[in-house]
């Protein structure tokens, strides 16, 4: 579930054709990471939350996983962002036990750029003693 839904855009420098689709010079082409991540040609059981799929996955340079974009203009803050969310999760797990009541039915919502769950995702926290 990419947090940035619509941001990976490029302008065509020349007329070109890709897989039968014509793109004129000057056209603005936007790639939606969400649809790339949900494409069954890229991922087995693409719509399911299976974080274990990344345990032995070593294909980061491919175009199948692009939450931070791709190429020379990919997100300059990627390493910082990864450090932020790893630190946040480590601090939370250190201080709290966490679980959920049932399987949340997460409906994605996009405000134009940022994606997030439409409804709150409720997590039970118990302070570790
Ligand atoms: C989870 C957090 C973040 C996500 C998912 C994210 C995602 C993205 C995406 C998809 C792009 C477009 C890349 C492309 O066009 O190929 C981008 C660009 C960019 N991001 Fe992030 N970003 C995140 C955090 C950050 C942070 C923390 C910073 C700065 C501290 C940052 C700074 C930038 C900048 C400056 C660009 C423009 C790069 C360029 O055009 O050369 N981002 N980001």
List, for residues 3-30, the tens digit of each pLDDT value. 998 888 999 999 999 999 999 999 999 9
The reply to whether 75 sits in an annotated binding site is yes
pLDDT of residue 128: 96
- CB neighbours of 13 closer than 8 A, spacing ≥ 6? 25
| pLDDT tens digits for range 89-116 | 999 999 999 998 887 788 889 888 899 9
Question: How large is the average pLDDT for residues 56-73?
Answer: 87
pLDDT of residue 94: 97
For 53-60, which contacts have Cβ atoms below 8 Å and span 24 or more sequence positions? none
- CB neighbours of 129 closer than 8 A, spacing ≥ 6? none
Q: Where are the domains of the chain?
A: 8-127
Whether this prediction's pTM lies above 0.85 is answered by: yes
Q: Ligand 1 centroid vs 77 CA: distance in angstroms?
A: 5
- pLDDT of 86 > 80? The answer is yes
Q: Ligand 1 centroid vs 35 CA: distance in angstroms?
A: 18
């Amino acid at each position: 579930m990419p947090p940035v839904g619509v941001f990976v855009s490029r302008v065509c420098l020349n007329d070109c054709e890709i897989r039968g689709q014509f793109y004129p010079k000057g056209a603005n082409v936007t790639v939606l990471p969400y649809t790339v991540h949900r494409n069954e040609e890229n991922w087995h059981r693409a719509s399911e939350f299976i974080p274990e799929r990344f345990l032995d996955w070593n294909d980061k340079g491919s175009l199948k996983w692009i939450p931070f974009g791709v190429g020379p203009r990919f997100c300059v803050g990627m390493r910082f962002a990864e450090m932020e969310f790893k630190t946040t999760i480590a601090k939370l797990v250190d201080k709290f036990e966490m679980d959920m009541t049932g399987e949340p039915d997460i409906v994605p919502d996009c405000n134009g750029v940022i994606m997030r769950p439409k409804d709150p995702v409720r997590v039970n926290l118990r302070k570790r003693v």
